[in-house]
Amino acid sequence: MQLSHKSFRNIGLIGRPDKSSVVETLSLIHDHLMSLGLHPVFDAETAELVPYKNTQTVSRALLGEVVDLVIVVGGDGSLLHAARSLVKYNTPVMGVNRGRLGFLTDIKPTEVIYKLDRVLQGEFQQDRRFLLEMEVRSKGETIHDAIALNDVVLHSGKSVHMIDFELNIDGQYVYRQHSDGLIVSTPTGSTAYALSGGGPIVHPSMDAISLVPMHPHTLSSRPIVVGGHSEIKILIRENRVLPMVSADGQHSVSLNVGDSLHIRKHPFKLNLLHPPGYDFYMACRTKLGWNRDFDSLQQQD
């Protein structure tokens, strides 16, 4: 779908709580939108942070239904949380970084008004990111489900014991593994937890899912990259501890022996907007410190 900037009239605002710098940036954006004759709408949680009494507020679950664009101020975690609420509405989302890395919230606070104006004028790159959906099934019934923009992680909780599970992809047996767990990651999540687990960096445009073992008991267990439409099934074997699963670091759910975890691509995609000049490889160089030693040597020369 080709977006038109002329449709950006009602602008949703979401911010990370408990951070004064977020409130400053939200207020700056709010006042600028008002000066342009546009209509800012806060989600209910964010409205409690800002000093405005007569502004429209909507619950986060319904925000995507009433606005044309959402601006998230915070870190990547804030955008992950917002994405899960907004994705079903196909609402465009842009992120202002008030966190740490900022792969998703890629606009600097010092440039927010300039970059926002360019987006409102129709100058932006549209970036469609797929999510994963997971189901926990017990005795044939779904007992828990969730969606994730970054990853679904099977782990051993606070225990130091390895867990035992069986992996199947598209109905084919892959292996039985003893490890600390398994990270099932989208390309978006390849620069998050999966990266620290030794997984590959996958360009966001790739239609692929990465499976990254966490401290496997066999040295030959390596990350696997499969097609984005793959159906992944993980069967829980007998363990000394109860394995757990979480989506995007949300509340973990315990799994019992015989339970199965089913993971596949979610039917809706996140509609992420970047101002002109966005470059994934530049983001990697900046956020991951590529060229840092080389650049410092050049400066010394």
Catalytically annotated residues:
76
Q: Is 126 annotated as a binding residue?
A: no
Q: Is 144 annotated as a binding residue?
A: no
Q: Is 76 annotated as a binding residue?
A: yes
Provide the residue type at 104 as one letter. L
Q: Cα–chain-centroid distance for residue 28?
A: 25
Q: Is 195 annotated as a binding residue?
A: yes
Q: Is 161 annotated as a binding residue?
A: yes
Contacts with 30 (C-beta within 8 Å, 6 or more apart), sequence order = 13, 40, 50, 52, 55
Q: Is 291 annotated as a binding residue?
A: no
Q: Is 47 annotated as a binding residue?
A: no
Measured CA to CA, the distance from residue 105 to residue 93 in angstroms comes to: 10
Q: How many helices (H) and strands (E) does the chain have?
A: 8, 17
Long-range Cβ contact pairs of 207-210 (< 8 A, separation 24 or more): 207/130, 209/132, 209/184, 209/185, 209/263, 209/265, 210/183, 210/184, 210/185, 210/186
Q: Is 207 annotated as a binding residue?
A: no
Q: Is 150 annotated as a binding residue?
A: yes
Which residues line the annotated binding site? 76-77, 81, 150-151, 161, 178, 180, 191-196, 250
Q: Which residues are annotated as a binding site for NAD(+)?
A: 76-77, 81, 150-151, 161, 178, 180, 191-196, 250
